[in-house]
Structure 1
Amino acid sequence: MKKTLILALAFLAMLTACTQDDLTFEEPTSNSEAINSEISEDQSGEIITINNFKGEPIEFIKRSDNAYQVDDMVFTNEQFLQIQEMYSGNRSVAISNTSRRWPDFTVRYAIASNFNNPSRVYAAIQSIESQIDCINFIEINCTSPESVSWKDSNSKTPVIIGSNPCETQDYIKFISGSGSVSSSSVGRIGGKQFIQISNAASTGTVIHEIGHALGLFHEQQRSDRNNHLIYNPQNAQTGSGGNFVIPTNQVSVGPFDFNSIMLYSSYTFSNGNGPVLTKLDGSTYTVQRNAFTSGDVAILEDIHNDPTIPIANTSRTLIDYETSPDTQYFEHRYFVHFNLNQSPYTLPSSKVVHYSITTETSNIGGVPNNTQISVQYYTKALSPGQSTYTLHDVITTDKIFDFGQPSGLQYERWLDIEESCSEYYIQ
């Protein structure tokens, strides 16, 4: 089941700001975190205001590097001009679902030599790679020296010193943010792009900012936001209204996700008079900054997966093979189904599938919580000409239940197929 996030492929229509993400006036719970490190306290530059379709102002800061920033989201001059044209009524602009994605879901990155605590970046990348099978982060090492400094103590615009042979590649450069600011470009913009991370930011903040670079906006800007949240503009800081605008053009998938790492908390951008966002019953909520949710992962896979590659789904059928007075024999039959554009996909050529079957044996020695897990690995060649294949048959012995309580060893099994990102995706 997929939930949605707003994507970079629709960013020209969105333009709401990102983040004071977890700025809160309440005690954070164990799975939430006050991330003041994402707040820019003194961003410098010319303020340019654009009214959206509802007449609500969106304030951009034009930086000295000719980029435009709204909180932790950074847009190129070209992107800003397209946004300006769209809201002026000249035309409606939308980006295709491939234009801002990272080709082959491969993201190259480098970490500045003076970056504080780079373990946060490595931990964030490890978390994302553990959740998304087909994403691939590659750290690149530029041979020429490069350093980052700041123009002055009041500037948030980095000044790059030295040459960089990596300029011919599309990649992310992690640099330390000045003060409390963390920010990221939205989607792949071409060439080098920055993710600025405050020294005080957590690994969760790094994941959040990488989410922007991969193409995600914020959950509260979905078209169905008002079916789940109440927006209280009288409690929002002056000039922050653009952060809560619902754009007319966006891409979203699945149900609203209160656990998304991209969601604002109730008190983000609050002026101190109360929550800016509440649930429909008026209650407030906190947000998590631990990891992507399954919905975050689903939308990232949707925009980065190659639409010409089929999707593999698995299923299992339990067959009562033989029954005696005290024993039941079950056959666990596992299948794989290939689909493309929600229709069965017939394999045009042979395909080798690697898979495993995990068995959890419980009630060992008559103790219900005494369990043991074992994994067996297999390889099977599938002949062309079908869309559904039987992968494996397993005969197991299951004891009959006595008054709902197992009287012998009990088994649970499940199948896992190794994803082959160039040949099929797993769903």
Structure 2
Amino acid sequence: MKTKSEKMKQTKRMYQAVMASLVFALCLTSCQKETATTGEDQEAVINQEADFTTKYFLGTEVKVRLEDDGTYSLAGSDLRLFENQLSDSSTDFNENPNPEEGLTNLGLAGGVRKWTGSTVVYTIQGLSASVQSELQKSFDEWTSKTNVRFKQRTNESNYVTISSSGSNSNSGVATLGMNGSNGFIRLGTRATAVVIIHEIGHTLGYIHEQNRSDRDNYIIINEQNIQNDAIDQFYKSNSATLVTSQFDINSTMMYGSYTFSKNGQPTITDLNGNVLSQRQAKVSDLDISGTNSIYPAVDGGDPDVPAVDSCDGVSAWSSAGRYAVGDRVTYAGDLYERDFTRWTFIKTCN
């Protein structure tokens, strides 16, 4: 028969074993959750009960949700679109309008526009000191490696408002391209440069990398693991302007392997089934070269004055042409520059 002291020791050992098992289980659950929601993935939690509407973006069918602020989120993601960036029919989008149509009759009236003078004008509202520090790191990453510049607003009519979303998370949402005074980036109270650099990419006019039409040559999309109402986030766009010359698995605009996972299993892997490296707080080499082709260095002090405005040597627009952002053409005696979804008038040729 065990003594009272031996019984107490046995009870203590059993208690310690139970507590150790409980701690292990909690740690395992926490680690699994962290794997699926770290950094870039915390913004990708959607409301499965939300109502989605079918629209067309750049001629491709997508599902969007109308948000309280009047913008539309693609399947509830971090990318926000304005109504004039969407249409009700694929035929409303003309991939190669002539410059005159691009100014007056483009189906996507507002379209996607890049920032003039390679300069993002911004104003800040309600960010904590820690998030402002991460924002500055993000600015520095873009400006140290690309031609993009950031300028705090004085009286400019085109600017983006960077504010707190109030969400206690490392998350963000952003509108696409330059949108007059309506553009915004909204950041969670624990937002880091990993997320903010990505959201700035949306502000510059970039969609997600996994939406490229050539993505199946580089990655596997595991639809069986994707949240039911998020399948649309993995659509392929044949008409979107490609920022990089080839698919870039390391792009800041690339989703992580567990983004929109419904079961803790990867939604994206490489062609060998391996999960992707976690997104870092930096832009990739292809992000850099692609951005610099779209946003050229600006000469002189006025960001609204193009560095080169000569018509000499510029070819006439052709209906058979395939134009990239930044390309210039002449049309009906005028010089135009290609934006994401339309042409911008530069000057009348002499």
State the TM-score, normalized to the length of structure 2: 0.63
Which has the greater radius of gyration?
A: 1
Residue 208 of structure 1, aligned match among 198, 220, 224? 198
CA displacement at 1:66 relative to structure 2: 2.2
Partners of 2:281 and 2:58 in 1: CA distance:
34
1:28-427 matched pairs, under 5 angstroms: 34-41=39-46, 47-50=52-55, 58-70=62-74, 71-80=77-86, 82=87, 84-86=88-90, 89-92=91-94, 100-115=113-128, 117=130, 118-132=132-146, 134-140=147-153, 166=155, 169-179=157-167, 180=169, 181-252=171-242, 253-272=244-263, 274-305=265-296
Relative to structure 1, the CA distance from residue 135 to residue 91 in structure 2 (aligned partners, 3 Å threshold; closer, same or farther) is closer
Answer yes or no: is the 8 Å Cα contact 1:185–1:194 preserved in 2. yes
Answer yes or no: is the 8 Å Cα contact 1:208–1:289 preserved in 2. no
CA displacement at 1:289 relative to structure 2: 2.5
Counterpart AA for 1:101: K
Q: Deviations over 1:266-296 (max 9, x none)?
A: 2211111632112111222233221111211
Structure having the larger proportion of residues in strand: 1
Query: Aligned residue for 2:340?
Result: none
Counterpart AA for 1:302: S
Partners of 1:289 and 1:184 in 2: CA distance:
19
Relative to structure 1, the CA distance from residue 286 to residue 77 in structure 2 (aligned partners, 3 Å threshold; closer, same or farther) is same
Count residues in correspondence: 254
Relative to structure 1, the CA distance from residue 52 to residue 207 in structure 2 (aligned partners, 3 Å threshold; closer, same or farther) is closer
Q: Deviations over 1:354-397 (max 9, x none)?
A: xxxxxxxxxxxxxxxxxxxxxxxxxxxxxxxxxxxxxxxxxxxx
Please tell me the root mean square deviation across aligned C-alpha atoms, in Å: 3.4
Partners of 2:125 and 2:200 in 1: CA distance:
16
CA displacement at 1:199 relative to structure 2: 0.9
Q: Which residues of structure 2 form unaligned runs of 5+?
A: 1-30, 103-110, 299-305, 315-350
CA displacement at 1:306 relative to structure 2: 7.6
Answer yes or no: is the 8 Å Cα contact 1:73–1:186 preserved in 2. yes
Counterpart AA for 1:172: V
Q: Deviations over 1:315-358 (max 9, x none)?
A: xxxxxxxxxxxxxxxxxxxxxxxxx99xxxxxxxxxxxxxxxxx
CA displacement at 1:140 relative to structure 2: 2.5
Answer yes or no: is the 8 Å Cα contact 1:223–1:247 preserved in 2. yes
Partners of 2:65 and 2:96 in 1: CA distance:
23
SS where residue 101 of structure 1 aligns? coil
Partners of 1:205 and 1:121 in 2: CA distance:
10
Partners of 2:117 and 2:57 in 1: CA distance:
34
Relative to structure 1, the CA distance from residue 64 to residue 51 in structure 2 (aligned partners, 3 Å threshold; closer, same or farther) is same
Q: Which residues of structure 1 form unaligned runs of 5+?
A: 1-23, 142-165, 311-339, 342-427
Partners of 1:248 and 1:176 in 2: CA distance:
34
Partners of 1:49 and 1:99 in 2: CA distance:
19
Relative to structure 1, the CA distance from residue 115 to residue 48 in structure 2 (aligned partners, 3 Å threshold; closer, same or farther) is farther
Counterpart AA for 2:115: W
- What is the identity percentage for the equivalent residue pairs of Structure 1 and Structure 2? 25
CA displacement at 1:27 relative to structure 2: 6.6
